[in-house]
């Protein structure tokens, strides 16, 4: 372990020396007239890289004819997105189906207790507007109330 640490320390020191030497050489090179041109070239490249939008100068219309005029290209993009976003998709209409009139099983009290234990705190409230923490704070009375509500809904 000691050999590894000393080798790692020597390697880190060698990398630091090499980086410092490379930076020193680069700075000396940049102080020459050719280096000044290189600085401006680097700045131009970096500035161009930050530009997010590539300007489209040409586009084909519906018939495949290349459009070069900027206004015509913009109009073609407008038509393209209107067609794309306003497309009507056929949907199958489904009937509501036959209602089930048979008996439904009432929720067991143990299921309510288990569900309350599994719910996480500090989550979004449901349609009732009551957070889980409130139901837990009510204790057994809250479990009974929630259980009765569940059984009433199913009846």
Predicted TM-score of the model (pTM)? 0.34
Length in residues, the chain: 155
Q: Map the chain to HEC letters.
A: CHHHHHHHHHHHHHHHHHHHHHHHHHHHHHCCHHHHHHHHHHHHHHHHHHCCCCCCCCEECCCCCEECCHHHHHHHHHHHHHHHHCCCCCCCCCCCCCCCCCCCCCCCHHHHHHHHHHCCCCCCCCCCCCCHHHHHHCCHHHHHHHHHHHHHHHC
Digitized pLDDT (tens) for each residue of the chain, 155 residues in all: 789 999 999 999 999 999 999 989 888 888 888 888 888 888 888 888 777 666 667 888 888 898 888 888 889 989 999 988 887 777 777 777 777 777 777 888 999 899 989 999 888 888 878 888 988 999 999 899 888 888 876 44
* pLDDT of the residue at 155: 47
Contacts of 133 (CB under 8 A, 6+ apart): 121, 122
């Amino acid at each position: 372990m000691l050999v590894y640490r000393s080798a790692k320390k020597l390697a880190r020191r060698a990398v630091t020396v090499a980086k410092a030497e490379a930076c020193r050489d680069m700075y000396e090179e940049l102080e020459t007239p050719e280096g000044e041109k290189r600085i401006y070239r680097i700045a131009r490249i970096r500035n161009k890289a930050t530009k997010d939008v590539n300007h489209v100068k040409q586009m084909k219309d519906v018939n495949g004819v290349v459009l070069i005029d900027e206004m015509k290209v913009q109009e073609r993009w407008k038509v393209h997105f209107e067609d794309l976003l306003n497309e009507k998709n056929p949907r199958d209409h489904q009937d509501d189906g036959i209602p089930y009139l048979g008996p439904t099983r009432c929720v067991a009290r143990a299921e309510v207790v288990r569900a309350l234990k599994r719910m996480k705190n500090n989550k979004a409230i449901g349609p009732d507007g009551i957070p889980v923490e409130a139901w837990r704070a009510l204790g057994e009375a809250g479990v009974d109330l929630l259980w009765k509500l569940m059984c009433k809904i199913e009846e």
